[in-house]
Chains A and B, each alone.
Chain A
Amino acid sequence: MSSWLDHTINGLIVGNVYALVAVGLALIFGVSRLINFAQGSIYLVGAYIGWIAVVQLHTPLPLTIIVVAVAAAIVGLIIERFGLRPLQNSVRIAPLLATIGISFVLDQLVMLIFSPNPRALPSQLPDVRFQVGGGTIGPLDLLIAGVGLTSALLLFVFLRYTKLGWAVRATAQDRDAAMQMGVDVNRVNQAVFGIAAALGGVSGMLVGMYYNQIDTAMSLQATLKGVVAEVVGGAGNVPGAVIGSLLLGLVESYGVAVLGTSYRNLFAFLLLVVVLVLRPNGLFVSARQAPPEPLTGTFIAPSRPVNIPRWALLAAVAGFAILPLFPVSFYVLQTLINAWLLGMLALSLTLVAGTMGQVSLGHAALLAIGAYTSALLSLTLAVPAGLAVIGGGLMSAALGTLLISPSFRLRGHYVSIATLAIGEIVALVILNWESVTRGPIGISGIPPLALFGYDLISPTSVYWFSLAVMVVLALLQGRLLTSHLGRSFRAIRDDDIAARAYGLSLNRYKSLAFIFGGFAAGVSGGIAAHLYSYINHETFNTQQSILALTVVILGGLGNVVGAIVGSVALVGLPEVFRIAAEYRILIYGIVLLLLVRFRPQGLLGTV
């Protein structure tokens, strides 16, 4: 009984923390219909600024809170001014990609400055526990509750009684009307980003103190939790976000009590998927809303793809095919093998995100499914590696499509959230389903690639094999794009309402896109598993999903040749310039931001 109360208190406290993140997300969504994927990064920045204040500057607690709030707000203002405002009249996909890029840049900067090792963030409050009923409560719990309630109250007063607050609410209701009535929408955006960032930063600091530990992995977790809470409460609904957060905190706390800590996130993501499927508008909005406003403008940047003559493509493929016959180093071949593997993933993502318009952030999960299937097939059932790889592709196509299918009724940002969550669920299942996946130990001793009984061990043979597989997949995808299916996919991407009015079933065609794309990604993962000979739940992570997304944007959304050119460029150029590994992700993030801002159609143009 006492532990029950403890779990309830813990759930409410954690929920309070989520609420600080989620309220910011809800405010931003309200005024700009944008899910800010960088919210977790601001939370991370807040935690580290808190660490500087407490450990280096020895500020007293009230001052620490103020320093963190102000510094985080400044970061928020910078994001709004330089990251998002220039994209106001851009295509719909642009701000979504921008916040993803900003989040990666911020996380990497923090990691480079403070190192990825966890740090202790001491609480500045006395360590005592009070007896409350059957449970206990500490001063930090009270502080978190107090900060949560105070912020809610201040926000309420701001929105209800100040002129700028009215402007925020007016903009949230009808942006165009607000503009016509003389509301300075840029100022509203600034205000909202500033407030959201301040709340997010303080929240990060409080969590750091609560667990007495901060590390760079906090960012993605916070974004996901905040988004889950916000979506549960109904996107853009500020009170809903608070209730959604408390609910999420309680669900997690009780879930952990019943099943253990490693299941904490699983509950959060399952809650998200269930809500997205059953009540996509959130728990507190009536399910039937006015149909969404007509979407004018295009989802991806309109452009004409660069037309590359067939002979040039043939020459390029032939050139790469005969490369190993020349005296090139093992290192060059290894780099290009990586590029071909990434190329397969990029082909998959460019089909799904570019041609179909479903910006998937969980694509690494498809790699993982393919890799685990292929590895387990060859290890436990002694299936030859060549066949096992195909099995991995098929499993990825089938299971991936099944897992992602709840997101088929969603649009834009929601697809990205859902795929991100589904990707996390796959990683968590791999970690926890020890009887099959061997859990955290991972799978070792995966046999090398083999074709018709011959082991492919030499770098040259692996190089040829992966190049050949990628070229075949690219040719198939090119053929798909010129068929009626390519036309149908692109029509659904450009306007799903008009597409439905002409008989295109969204479920059917999104499934087909994911089946085809899932196969390519699964094959890539399968080959990687046999190449690495060891995989675990962290081999295929969100960074690869983001890398693939950058490749796809670089090459041009939906562009098959672009996906491969992008892969070679993003794998090859850092090697050519010998850029240290820890700076690469930062550079990918910056490349993504620059592309979205200055060349949204990519190098070879969107298709």
Chain B
Amino acid sequence: MEKQLHAMLSLRGLTRRFGGLTAVDTIDLDLAKGELISIIGPNGAGKTTLFNLVTGLDRPDAGTVSFEGQDITGLSPERLAAEGIARTFQLGRVFGNLSVMDNVLIGAHTRLRAVKPAVPVIGPLLELGLALLRPSRVRAEEERLREEVKAILARFGERLLPRIDQPAYSLSYANRRRVEIARALALKPRLLLLDEPTAGMNPTETAEMQGLVAELKAEGLTILLIEHKLEMVMRLSDRVIVMDEGKKIAEGPGEQVRSDPKVIEAYLGHGLSGTAEQESAA
């Protein structure tokens, strides 16, 4: 119980069924503030569905999600974003026709104060009015956010800054993943969920990404990571959770999980290509 008190994110008995398939099967998880937990498992193990349940894009059939002691089960993604939960997507969901700058600015949307007056009913109309009139405090806020976006983009070295005004559809696959992470950071998240941030990246790019995630962790950010590249998982994670067919089959420090016979069976027993590393390289 000690653990639950300090947990930033707690999942209890979280379950999601699609027809006859139980994609997420009574998952319990506690993520403490500042901790980094990796979720690994073969494709189709239910990792992304779990992310969808936590971020409100899908609702669980059973179980609860609580965030900083508050029950957030079934809340809308918009609400959860405002609570400080940010995520990236497995297949990459950048806004294709928006520039890199605008993509990342959308990440800061929940933080807009000057243009999003918290007035009931007529709030949206005021928002429209302020967007059209743009008094100085609105311009100042926008300017401040733009500077902040540049600072975030600078974390990716020269990958994104020179392309700041280019539309996202023109970016390479790896750069789109970076834009997604920059967008998530612009939300100033309290909890960050990264869904395969290195998918489709070469070893150099993967190492860069690993460095960035390590930096974020060092800054105290709480992170839930889905990742296939075990090397990275082992280096970054405080704990590793292994999922297979919706169930949690192992949990613990990286090395311990790695030698767990159940985990080896989950990867090998499905007749997949051997180890997870090979699988992700394919």
Chain A residues proximal to chain B, CB less than 8 Å: 288, 290-291, 294, 296-298, 300, 302, 304, 476, 479-480, 483-485, 487-488, 490-491, 493-495, 497-505, 508, 511-512, 515-516, 606-607
Q: Are B142 and A484 in contact (CB under 8 A)?
A: yes
What A residues does B78 contact at CB under 8 A? 500, 503-505
Interface check B254, CB cutoff 8 A: no
Given known contacts A502-B109, A515-B128, A290 and B97 CB-to-CB distance under 8 angstroms:
no
Given known contacts A483-B134, A500-B76, A511-B124, A488 and B93 CB-to-CB distance under 8 angstroms:
no
What A residues does B115 contact at CB under 8 A? 483-484
A-B contact pairs, 24 of them (CB 8 A): A288-B59, A302-B96, A302-B169, A476-B132, A479-B132, A480-B128, A480-B132, A483-B134, A487-B106, A488-B109, A490-B95, A490-B102, A493-B97, A498-B93, A500-B76, A500-B78, A501-B56, A501-B86, A502-B183, A504-B106, A505-B78, A512-B124, A512-B128, A515-B125
Interface check B91, CB cutoff 8 A: yes
Given known contacts A291-B52, A503-B81, A505-B78, A487 and B98 CB-to-CB distance under 8 angstroms:
yes
C-alpha gap A500/B87 in the complex (Å) = 11
Question: Distance (Å) between the CB of B196 and the closest chain A CB?
Answer: 13
- Seed contacts A479-B134, A484-B142, A494-B97; 11 additional CB < 8 Å A-B pairs: A476-B132, A479-B131, A479-B132, A488-B106, A490-B95, A491-B95, A497-B93, A498-B93, A502-B107, A512-B128, A606-B97
What B residues does A504 contact at CB under 8 A? 78, 106, 109
Question: Which of A291, A488, A493, A512 is within 8 Å of B57, CB to CB?
Answer: A291
Using a Cβ cutoff of 8 Å, how many contacts connect chains A and B?
117
C-alpha gap A494/B91 in the complex (Å) = 15
Residue of B nearest to A297 (CB): B96
Question: Which of A297, A487, A498, A516 is within 8 Å of B128, CB to CB?
Answer: A516
Q: Are B124 and A503 in contact (CB under 8 A)?
A: no
What A residues does B105 contact at CB under 8 A? 484, 487
Residue of B nearest to A288 (CB): B59
Question: Distance (Å) between the CB of A270 and the closest chain B CB?
Answer: 27
What B residues does A483 contact at CB under 8 A? 115, 131-132, 134
Question: Distance (Å) between the CB of A260 and the closest chain B CB?
Answer: 39
Question: Distance (Å) between the CB of A95 and the closest chain B CB?
Answer: 18
Given known contacts A484-B131, A500-B78, A512-B124, A300 and B97 CB-to-CB distance under 8 angstroms:
yes
Interface check B10, CB cutoff 8 A: no
What B residues does A606 contact at CB under 8 A? 97
C-alpha gap A42/B103 in the complex (Å) = 43
Within B33-61, the residues touching A (CB, 8 Å) are 52, 55-59
C-alpha gap A499/B81 in the complex (Å) = 10
C-alpha gap A192/B240 in the complex (Å) = 49
What A residues does B77 contact at CB under 8 A? 497, 500-501, 503
Interchain residue pairs A-B with the least CB separation, the first 7 = A503-B81, A483-B131, A503-B110, A498-B93, A494-B95, A298-B96, A500-B77
What A residues does B102 contact at CB under 8 A? 487, 490-491
C-alpha gap A483/B115 in the complex (Å) = 10
Question: Distance (Å) between the CB of B153 and the closest chain A CB?
Answer: 16
Within B78-106, the residues touching A (CB, 8 Å) are 78, 81-82, 86-87, 89-98, 102-103, 105-106
Task: Count chain B CB atoms within 10 A of each CB in A288, A493, A502, A607 and give the residue with the most.
Answer: A502
What B residues does A479 contact at CB under 8 A? 131-132, 134
Q: Are A503 and B109 in contact (CB under 8 A)?
A: yes
Q: Are B97 and A298 in contact (CB under 8 A)?
A: yes
C-alpha gap A316/B132 in the complex (Å) = 24
Within B174-189, the residues touching A (CB, 8 Å) are 183, 187
Q: Are B98 and A501 in contact (CB under 8 A)?
A: no
Within B182-202, the residues touching A (CB, 8 Å) are 183, 187
Residue of B nearest to A475 (CB): B132
Q: Are B91 and A497 in contact (CB under 8 A)?
A: no
Interface check B127, CB cutoff 8 A: yes
Question: Distance (Å) between the CB of B209 and the closest chain A CB?
Answer: 20
What A residues does B132 contact at CB under 8 A? 476, 479-480, 483
Question: Which of B18, B56, B95, B109 is within 8 Å of A495, CB to CB?
Answer: B95
Q: Are A490 and B98 in contact (CB under 8 A)?
A: yes
What A residues does B94 contact at CB under 8 A? 495, 498
Given known contacts A479-B132, A502-B107, A504-B106, A294 and B95 CB-to-CB distance under 8 angstroms:
no
Question: Which of B89, B97, B127 is within 8 Å of A485, CB to CB?
Answer: B127
Question: Distance (Å) between the CB of A401 and the closest chain B CB?
Answer: 10
Q: Are B128 and A494 in contact (CB under 8 A)?
A: no
What B residues does A502 contact at CB under 8 A? 81, 86, 106-107, 109-110, 183, 187
C-alpha gap A494/B115 in the complex (Å) = 22
Given known contacts A485-B131, A502-B187, A512-B127, A302 and B97 CB-to-CB distance under 8 angstroms:
yes
C-alpha gap A260/B169 in the complex (Å) = 54
Q: Are B81 and A480 in contact (CB under 8 A)?
A: no
What B residues does A300 contact at CB under 8 A? 97
Question: Distance (Å) between the CB of B58 and the closest chain A CB?
Answer: 6
Interface check B112, CB cutoff 8 A: yes
Question: Distance (Å) between the CB of A517 and the closest chain B CB?
Answer: 12
Interface check B167, CB cutoff 8 A: yes
C-alpha gap A505/B115 in the complex (Å) = 15
Q: Are A294 and B91 in contact (CB under 8 A)?
A: yes
Q: Are B95 and A480 in contact (CB under 8 A)?
A: no
Q: Mark B100-141, 1 if CB is under 8 A from A, else 0.
A: 001101110110100100000000110110011010000000
C-alpha gap A296/B169 in the complex (Å) = 11
Given known contacts A484-B105, A494-B96, A508 and B124 CB-to-CB distance under 8 angstroms:
yes
What B residues does A491 contact at CB under 8 A? 95, 98, 102-103, 106
What A residues does B128 contact at CB under 8 A? 480, 485, 512, 515-516
Residue of A nearest to B59 (CB): A288
Question: Distance (Å) between the CB of A237 and the closest chain B CB?
Answer: 15
C-alpha gap A491/B33 in the complex (Å) = 31
What A residues does B91 contact at CB under 8 A? 294, 296
What A residues does B93 contact at CB under 8 A? 294, 495, 497-498
Q: Are A501 and B97 in contact (CB under 8 A)?
A: no
What A residues does B187 contact at CB under 8 A? 502-503
What A residues does B125 contact at CB under 8 A? 515
C-alpha gap A502/B187 in the complex (Å) = 8
C-alpha gap A402/B186 in the complex (Å) = 33
C-alpha gap A480/B103 in the complex (Å) = 17
C-alpha gap A516/B170 in the complex (Å) = 31
C-alpha gap A300/B58 in the complex (Å) = 26
Q: Are A480 and B131 in contact (CB under 8 A)?
A: yes
Question: Distance (Å) between the CB of A471 and the closest chain B CB?
Answer: 15
Given known contacts A499-B106, A501-B87, A511-B124, A490 and B97 CB-to-CB distance under 8 angstroms:
yes
Residue of B nearest to A493 (CB): B97
Question: Distance (Å) between the CB of B130 and the closest chain A CB?
Answer: 8
Residue of B nearest to A487 (CB): B102
C-alpha gap A308/B107 in the complex (Å) = 30
Question: Distance (Å) between the CB of B189 and the closest chain A CB?
Answer: 10
Question: Which of B18, B58, B95, B112 is within 8 Å of A498, CB to CB?
Answer: B95
Task: Count chain A CB atoms within 10 A of each CB in B90, B94, B131 and give the residue with the most.
Answer: B131
Residue of B nearest to A504 (CB): B109
Q: Are A500 and B57 in contact (CB under 8 A)?
A: yes
Question: Distance (Å) between the CB of A289 and the closest chain B CB?
Answer: 8
Residue of A nearest to B58 (CB): A291
What B residues does A498 contact at CB under 8 A? 89, 93-95
C-alpha gap A493/B115 in the complex (Å) = 21
C-alpha gap A167/B212 in the complex (Å) = 48
Residue of B nearest to A479 (CB): B132
C-alpha gap A294/B132 in the complex (Å) = 34
Question: Distance (Å) between the CB of A140 and the closest chain B CB?
Answer: 43
What B residues does A515 contact at CB under 8 A? 125, 128
